[in-house]
Structure 1
Amino acid sequence: MTEAASTSSVRTEERDGIFVITIDRPEARNAIDGATARELAAAVDQLDARDYLLVGILTGAGGVFSAGMDLKAFAAGDTPVIPGRGFAGITRADIKTPLIAAVEGYALGGGTEMALACDMIVAARNATFGQTEVHYGIVPPEGGMVRLPERIPRNIALELLLTGDPLPAARAEQLGLVNHLTEPGEALTQALELANRVAHNAPLAIAAVKRVVNERTAFRDQDALRDQDRIVAPVLASQDAQEGARAFTEKRSPHWHGR
């Protein structure tokens, strides 16, 4: 049985116990603004509220996962961070149902952080991850600095975080960040195949596995995020952060002032 629904920037579809959540802002490379964040939070709540849904898939429309924060909206005072739930209503949320990221094209900045908030990642060979925030005078506070060093070697994570360099999907698979690599255009298909293999199993067992594995790290992650927030709050509120967003909007190089 397939049941589809849509909002202005998020589409959802049920497929025999699997819930596909699609970010649908291809004109903005699926960048996340406040409205999209609220719609994603609502979609994840639906996933957890319906007992017959055993696995979720998060993906993006138009051959792109997500370019992260909508910097134009951010420069105008809009935020895609929901209190208690984090970026896109996902990165700090307590999601009980297993969630798979199906990544095509770019998953940059907050896009990578959304993928890191998922339990598994399927990526097309043309996919690119990256914590590019340092280019814009900010840092990745929604899991990038906490989760990335847990998923891949610490020294590689630091290089990516400090340079903002891209991480191609093939390299991400070698490092263990990506579960399965597919041909371009096949990430969702492979994610559905993986989700079906999970959903074939007993619902109570699926829920227990995710709960045990997540609770082993959840408290440590929350402590790390709280410690991180104290350190990065002045960075996110700095003149350089505003300058980075303005420079992006105006398509020019930023002029850093260190304040």
Structure 2
Amino acid sequence: MIETLNAELAGFVELHGEGRVLEIRMVKPKVNAICRRLSRSIEQAALFLQESGDYQLGILTSAHDRAFSAGMDFNESVSSDGDGGVGAIKGGFGGITRLWDLKKPLIAAINAPAIGGGMELALACDLIVMAEHAYFQLPELQRGLLPDGGGLQRLPRRIPYNVATAMIWTGERMTAAEAMSWGLVHRTAPAEELRALAFSIAHKMALDAPLAQQAFKEVLRNIDGMPDRDAMEIRGDSGPEYQAFARMLASDDMLEGQRAFLERRPPKWTGA
């Protein structure tokens, strides 16, 4: 199946499976500038991850040393219609910035500068690791734009508000070390060790119960911005937006995890 999909996505995205982990590698020459085709290729890869029974989580990265992604492809956007013309059908700009249906976790492995929309792709992921030489940048105001693919929405919720907004006001770079110090990035590594780091973390996450992972991501997304008192009232029967939570609570896996702990053995997850 990966071979068939790789043929469809050729020139934009390559997929590589390793155990329960699906690597989604952006390969658009030369800097993964985000156009309609790249957005829809990333979306297609993410939806494949979501529907696949073989893969539990994904890693989004770049095949290029020059950039993780340099952001919007202005060659396409300046001649497009009013929506910018660079969005995917469900996932919006970059294919995942609005892909609310994606329940499986994504790790962003930032192997090179992530600029503009490239940083917004990273912010759409659940965990970020970064090469020590890489950096983030949101220069949209200097281009006559807003970073409205997640930069202005997500970044001020991840790091101190004044730090996030100053980054947007000035367009200044944030180094990997700075991103680590603000808690935006989980771990950093030399460039040649980043892929191994990302897969090490991914394989560790693949030991988790798949349904619990999906419920965790679903609940985190839905309680974002809620007062603590309201968030503490959320249960699996709190509404249709908590389907993964409800499924987890009714699953054999939930009981299996507890039995395995008591019996001092690794759990055997079935996803049911």
Is the structural similarity TM-score above 0.5?
yes
Q: Is the 8 A contact 1:81 1:88 kept in 2?
A: yes
Q: Give yes or no for the alignment of 1:32 onto 2:58.
A: no
The aligned amino acid for 1:210 is K
**Structure 1 residue 85 and structure 2 residue 91: aligned?**
yes
* 1:152 matched to 2:177: no
Cα contact 2:69–2:115 (8 A) shared by 1: yes
CA contact (8 A) 1:30 1:61 kept: no
* Residue in 1 that maps onto 2:248: none
Local SS of the residue matching 1:56: strand
Q: Kindly report which structure 2 residues correspond to 1:14-53, keeping only aligned pairs within 5 A, or say none.
A: 14-27=17-30, 29-53=31-55
Q: 2:38, 2:202 → 1: CA distance?
A: 24
Deviation at 1:150, TM superposition (A): 0.6
**Cα displacement (A) at 1:196:** 0.4
Q: Letter of the aligned partner of 1:130 in structure 2?
A: Q
- State the distance in 1 between where 2:17 and 2:73 align: 28
186-195 or 42-51, which deviates more: 186-195
If asked which structure has higher relative contact order (CA below 8 Å, sep 6+), I would say: 1
1:59 corresponds to 2:61: yes
**Which residue in 1 is equivalent to 2:195?**
188
Question: 1:83-111: per-residue Cα shift (whole Å, max 9, x none)?
Answer: 54221111011111000000011100000
Counterpart for residue 214 of structure 2: 207
Shift of 1:188: 2.0
Which residue identity lines up with residue 47 of structure 1 in the other structure?
A: L
For 1:173 and 1:26, locate their aligned partners in 2 and report how far apart those are by CA, in whole Å: 29
TM score, norm. by length of structure 1 = 0.79
- One-letter code aligned to 2:122: A
Equivalent-residue separation in structure 1 for 2:224 and 2:11 (angstroms):
34
Aligned amino acid, residue 183 of structure 2: G
d(CA) in 2 for partners of 1:31, 1:219: 35
**Judging changes above 3 Å, is the alpha-carbon distance between structure 1 residues 87 and 169 closer, same or farther for their aligned structure 2 residues?**
same
Q: Give the match's secondary structure for 1:62.
A: coil
Distance in 2, matches of 1:43 and 1:217, equals: 26
RMSD: 1.9
Q: Percent identity?
A: 36
C-alpha contact 2:40 2:89 (8 A) present in aligned 1:
no
The separation in 2 between residues aligned to 1:210 and 1:145, in whole angstroms, is: 21
How many pairs are equivalent? 218
In structure 2, the gaps of 5 or more residues are 228-272
Which of the pair has more CA radius of gyration? 2
Conservation of the 8 A alpha-carbon contact between 2:23 and 2:59: yes
| Letter in structure 2 aligned against 1:181 | T
